[in-house]
Structure 1
Amino acid sequence: MPITELLERNAIQYANDVALVEINPDIKEKRRVTWREYELIQPDLSQQYRREITWHVFNEKANRVANLLLSRGIRKGDKVAILMMNCLEWLPIYFGILKTGALAVPMNFRFDEHEIKYCLELSETDVLFFGPEFIGRIEEIVDEIDEKRILFYVGGDCPSFAENYDNLVSNCSSLSPDIKITDEDDAAIYFSSGTTGFPKAILHNHESLMHAAKVEQNHHGQTKDDVFLCIPPLYHTGAKMHWFGSLLTGGKAVLLKGVTPKTIFETVSKEHCTIVWLLVPWAQDILLALDRGELKIEDYDLKQWRLMHIGAQPVPQSLIKRWKEYFPHHQYDTNYGLSESIGPGCVHLGVDNIDKVGAIGVPGYGWQAKIVDTEGNEVNQGDVGELIVKGPGVMTCYYNDEKATAECLKDGWLYTGDMAEMDKDGFIYLVDRKKDVIISGGENIYPVQIENFLSKHPKIKDVAVIGLADERLGEISAAIIELNPDTECSEEEINEFCKELPRYKRPRKIIFAKVPRNATGKIEKPKLREIYHSKNLVDAQNRG
């Protein structure tokens, strides 16, 4: 069943129930907001800007988007891109695209104008919806992209080179278009994060999207009464696929724009959120704010908050241990996934396996997983190999890239590029990205293992380990360490702490600096290598 049918069902069964809420703490004025013909009441939420829509209105807005696109000649198989920050319009536009049979193409809001142009051309996009934050970037390339594409602007004060989405869509029918969609039909193109190279276009069908909804609900037990707090960007498979659990059950979701420990607690408290998906840096910031007394749990109504889960990157064991000290009643889960496997859930820890924190978990609902050597044979228990996964959420292909597809899709198995090992209980532990492995004096060093160890140091807020070129050893490991605020630490102190590691795993160089992460929380190691002039020999060998 295509995912669009869930929205149609919710619009009937839960017509007047709230589907989506948008909260923007950066907009302070209190006001009534009229969004086309639907007047939304702005309650006093510490003067935060707040909008909401019901399932009935959500579905009608998606239908209007679909009918607008159809009126402009968009047909099944065409591509329609979304370049917008999280907002109340985002998901109705996404579902409107799907209802036409066209492919939704969400785009990273950090792309510069050259990356935007590259991804529009790579995906063969026909229409672009973009928000006010991107006027300058689109203006830089409009002469190159405008001839072949329709540009819809979503926001106030429409630029002259685009068409006003709000004016156009208000005149379109709110009835569902009569377009037949099957599970096998192409549904969306997502772009890889670019942390290991330039973005690839990842093609998924409707079966992938629907399976993501089933996986999320199965893993976290969402009910109609759950309220999901969504903070990460909707262009990424992770945030949207976690929200699909709310779509499946008809529950409410809250889109929080702008993130601080205080705004997270305020939103959880006032919107009665029960499920919160965090990235590692946000969880760290919350713990630091609690440690310093800047946040006090008793000042907020958090008793209904039942689940905190983290995805998108390895999670330090020490972080979860500290979290459980503050929130002993919380369930915890971590999800592993790639855009190529429709985001989170192909491997997950499971809320009942808190004793296995540090592992990414076991195969998720409907998924299989193996750890294999370079020949594709399963390795012995405890040995390191490449993690491969198989299931209904595996991508169809890299769009228009047969070579890259053949390299990672073999007999239905997706080769993830992540190195892992499995313990005697069948739990999988992520060791590192295949391309991030440091080869030092013939020894393979896995940076994630060192990062996990260093993250236990009480003065360290964040850490990344990369390889630096070395004439004698080929590469040496360097630890870029971001300290907690108002904390001092010496290189000697770190070296002393690392004596618990085997000698070959100890960082040879310590650098105190900020650790850059992308919008989905992943460490930007290519940027670090560029900053510190390192040369990754594994990458060089792969290119050769």
Structure 2
Amino acid sequence: MEEQSSEPEIARPTRSLAAVTAQLLVSGGPFEMETAEVGGVATRVWKHAPPHMRAVIESSLEHGEATALVYGDERLTHSAFYRSTAALARRLIDDYGVAKGDRVAIAMRNYPEWVIAYFAATAIGAIAVPLNSWWSGPELEFGLTDSGAAVLVADRERIERLGGALERLELPLIGVRTEELPEGARSWDAVLGTVACDQRLPEAEPAPDDPCTLFYTSGTTGRPKAAVGSHRNLATNIVSGSYSRFRSLMRLGLEMEEVQAYVDGMGPSVVLCVLPLFHATGAQTVMLPTLANGGTLVLMYKWDPEEAMRLVERERVSAITAVPSMIAQMTASPRLGDYDLSSLMMLASGGAPAAPALVSRTRRSMHEMLLGQGYGLTECSATATTNGGSDYLLRPDSAGLPVATVDIAIFDAAEQELPPGEIGEVWIRGPGVVHGYWQRPQATAAAFSGGWLRTGDLGRLDDEGFLYIVDRVTDMIIRGGENVYCAEVEAAVHEHPAVAEVAVVGIPDEVMGEEVGAVVRLLPGRELTGQELAEFLEPHLAGFKIPSRVHVVTGELPRNAAGKLLKKHLKREYGWSADEEGPAGVP
């Protein structure tokens, strides 16, 4: 599809934020708030949010024979989804002795079984532990050991990666979509057996603030940390998503009743899930709202821009949330005009900020639709601010406005709140902020205090409350939506016998946002190429963490008086700064 020669005209907001917010938050409306005590802190919460994940899966019965899950040629109705979830929940209790608070690990691709296992565990008060399916065997083993998982639900690839670790862990295993199983493991079909037409969930009474999930997020020490999410944390997103969509449309002058009529007229959403479900964004802002509202979740095994467009056409997909690199690949595809994408009404980016140039390119190459992006962390259940509609087009470099239940503040190093325009650390408070880190009391104390989450991101607020993220306090790279912490990669590189020291940095990249780069100093008399280093790291790190650009040096790396590596100096020296073009590849 050829790009148009000029930008489409941007419709400017016609109603003030104050007027829209006052109408949305009216008493008795769907976005009514109330105050609840969460962790000893008075917190604004959505009054009409589901109380727990059990209520979400029970609502599937209300949607009956409408399609809930699509994977390839497989289709599962909401009622069948409920029955399979209820059957697995019963087996977890009866066959595996899973009780309230026990951890159920899930390690697989985006299969329907992932969704069923997640809801089966959380519906009975157990804690779902989504493990990164890109992790290597040792990384998966760490997650299982750290979480103290009582049972593992995994597909063939993850089982193969774990290898002998499964025997060492003596962990019950339910194998998904695999014919070969280790001794003692059972297949998914054998565990579920015949699912009765009147199958119902076993009795359980989860509370809103009970632990519900452990989503792993890397830490600056290089060891992943698990954020302890509650039922309330996750259920908050179901209402927050609707609130943000209403706010964007009402800013254009529509009344609340008009927006509701528009949403009702569209029918249940059909959402293409292109993000991995082990990510907070994929599970909490894509999967949960879609199923809770009676929509259809179309699952992809792995990202492929042409396959995504084919699914949009075939399933009449109405919404996609993707990382910016995925959107860039779609809009740049030479086959963009070969597919009927007219059903697509909303295209949002998450997981990493989208460059303003990408917003312009999307508007030129695709039909009119609601564009937007959000900002959040695993530690705040993925959603803190949203930027959509005309606000996004006018401020594409902004992370948006906080949802009504969230407070955003900017603090300096002395923990003094800063006025609009001043840059400092972004702090978040609201019902999405998790309980802390699993078995990490010191890390929890450092990041959470009095209901506030210290994000480690640098940002500023403008006079209207729009948030702008300008940098990161923590040493982190975001590659295609995946968080890569330099300390973890540096520790792995240091394991190579030829390496004396290493500095890992983020390199700006148009497609992935950032690539992983490394400057390596070798020990005297040793030799090492970038390819040899990549091969060495492959068994130890997930592929997205392995440096794609490596510069080998013999001299000392630059450090300051305190001994800290001067990474900005290195990025400038090797042309890896944002305003300079980096090396073409691995030397």
Measured against aligned partners, the alpha-carbon deviations of 1:293-328 in whole angstroms (never above 9, x if no partner) come to x2142x322212111100111211101111111125
> Displacement of 1:135 after TM fit?
2.3
Partner in structure 2 of residue 511 of structure 1? 583
CA contact (8 A) 2:233 2:433 kept: yes
Contact kept in structure 1, 2:426 and 2:454, CA below 8 Å: yes
Residues in 1 aligned to 2:294 and 2:332: alpha-carbon distance in whole angstroms: 35
Report the 3-state secondary structure (helix = DSSP H, G, I; strand = E; otherwise coil) of the residue aligned with 1:240: helix
Q: Which residue of 1 aligns with 2:52?
A: 2
Query: Matches of 2:322 and 2:571 in 1, distance apart?
Result: 23
Q: Give, in angstroms, the shift of residue 480 of structure 1.
A: 7.9
TM-align CA RMSD: 2.8
SS of alignment partner, residue 214 of structure 2: strand
3-state DSSP class of the match of 2:222?
coil
Q: Which aligned pairs between 1:286-301 and structure 2 lie closer than 5 A?
A: 286-289=330-333, 294-297=334-337, 299-301=338-340
1:79–1:104 CA contact under 8 A, matched in 2: yes
C-alpha separation in 1, matches of 2:195 and 2:569: 57
Letter in 2 for 1:510: G
Counterpart residue type for residue 198 of structure 1: R
| TM-fit CA distance, 1:238 | 0.4
Name 2:146's counterpart in structure 1: 122
Query: In the aligned structure 1, how far is the partner of 2:296 from the partner of 2:570?
Result: 42
Q: What's the CA shift string for 1:369-392, capped at 9, x where partnerless?
A: 111111221123222110010111
Counterpart pick for 1:340 among 379, 398, 401: 379
Distance in 1 of aligned mates of 2:463 and 2:517: 30
1:233 match: 276
Residues 107-130 of structure 1: per-residue CA shift (max 9 Å, x gap): 000121211121112111111011
| Residue 150 of structure 1 pairs with residue 172 of structure 2 | yes
Give the match's secondary structure for 1:383.
coil
Which residue number in structure 2 is paired with residue 412 of structure 1? Answer: 451
Distance 2:131 2:98 in 1: 19
Query: Aligned match of 1:210 in 235, 240, 245?
Result: 235
Is the Cα–Cα contact under 8 Å of residues 78 and 125 in structure 1 kept in the other structure? yes
Moved more, 261-270 or 168-177: 168-177
- Structure-2 change in CA distance of 1:426 and 1:177 (3 Å): same
Is 2:375–2:399's contact at 8 Å kept on the other side of the alignment? yes
What SS does the aligned partner of 1:253 have? Answer: strand
Structure 2 portions without partners, runs of 5+: 1-50, 247-262, 478-504, 520-556
Residues 245 and 211 (structure 1 numbering): CA distance in 2 closer, same or farther, change over 3 Å? same
Decide which of 115, 121, 127 is 1:103's aligned counterpart.
127
Contact 1:383 1:422 in 2 (8 A): yes
Would the alpha carbon gap of residues 347 and 160 (structure 1) be closer, same or farther in structure 2, given more than 3 Å must change?
A: same
Distance 2:476 2:142 in 1: 29
Q: Distance in 2 between matches of 1:136 and 1:160?
A: 10
Match of 1:477 among 568, 571, 575: 568
Contact 2:461 2:467 in 1 (8 A): yes
Looking at both structures, which has the greater relative contact order when contacts are Cα pairs under 8 Å and sequence separation is at least 6? 2
| Aligned 1:2-151 pairs, distance under 5 A | 2-11=52-61, 13-23=62-72, 50-71=73-94, 72-146=96-170, 149-151=171-173
Give percent identity, aligned residues only.
25
Q: 1:351 aligns with which of 382, 389, 408?
A: 389
Task: Say whether 1:370 aligns with 2:392.
Answer: no
1:177 aligns with 2:202: yes
Decide which moves more: 412-421 or 256-265. 256-265
Tell me, in whole angstroms, the C-alpha distance in 1 between the residues paired with 2:518 and 2:460.
22
Shift of 1:464: 5.1
Corresponding residue SS for 1:511 = coil
Aligned pair partner of 2:213 in 163, 166, 188? 188
DSSP 3-state at the match of 2:372: strand
Partner Cα distance (2:416, 2:368) in 1:
42
Greater CA drift, 127-136 or 374-383: 374-383
CA contact (8 A) 1:2 1:181 kept: yes
- Distance in 1, matches of 2:221 and 2:311, equals 34
Q: SS state of the match for residue 429, structure 1?
A: strand
Report the Cα distance in structure 2 between the residues aligned to 1:461 and 1:187, rounded to whole angstroms. 32
- 1:244 pairs, out of 275, 288, 293, with 288
Matched, 1:261 2:305: yes
**Alignment partner, residue 428 of structure 1:** 467
Alpha-carbon spacing, 1:506–1:155, altered in 2? closer, same or farther (3 Å)? closer
1:542 corresponds to which residue?
Answer: none
1:273-312 to structure 2, matched below 5 A, reads 273-289=317-333, 294-297=334-337, 299-312=338-351
Q: Is the 8 A contact 2:322 2:349 kept in 1?
A: yes
* One-letter amino acid of the counterpart of residue 205, structure 1: S
**CA 1:324–1:193 in 2, change beyond 3 Å: closer, same or farther?**
farther
Please, which of 426, 429, 445 is the counterpart of residue 387 of structure 1? 426
Q: CA deviation at 1:165?
A: 2.4
Matched length: 445
How far does the alpha carbon of each residue in 1:348-389 deviate from its partner, in whole angstroms, 9 at most, with x for none? Answer: 113331201011111124111111111221123222110010
Q: 1:159 is paired with a residue of what secondary structure?
A: coil
Q: SS of 2:389's equivalent?
A: coil
Q: 1:318 and 1:374 mapped to 2: Cα distance?
A: 33
Q: Work out whether residues 52 and 88 of structure 1, in 8 Å CA contact, stay in contact via their aligned partners in 2.
A: no
**In 2, are the aligned partners of 1:99 and 1:179 still within 8 Å (CA)?**
yes
Supply the AA of the counterpart residue of 1:278.
Answer: A
Distance 1:274 1:240 in 2: 18
Q: Distance in 2 between matches of 1:437 and 1:319?
A: 22
SS in 2 for 1:435: coil
**1:483-513 Cα deviation digits (max 9, x unpaired):** xxxxxxxx9xx89xx9xxxxxx855x83333
Aligned residue for 2:224, secondary structure, equals coil
What letter is aligned with 1:207? R
1:78, 1:102 within 8 Å by CA — same for their partners in 2?
yes
Counterpart in 2 of 1:42?
A: none
Alignment of 1:435-450 (within 5 A): 435-436=474-475
Tell me by how many angstroms 1:282 deviates: 1.2
Q: Which amino acid aligns with 2:422?
A: D
Q: Which amino acid in structure 2 is aligned with residue 415 of structure 1?
A: R
**Comparing 151-160 and 81-90, the one that deviates more:** 151-160
Q: 1:201 aligns with which of 197, 221, 226?
A: 226
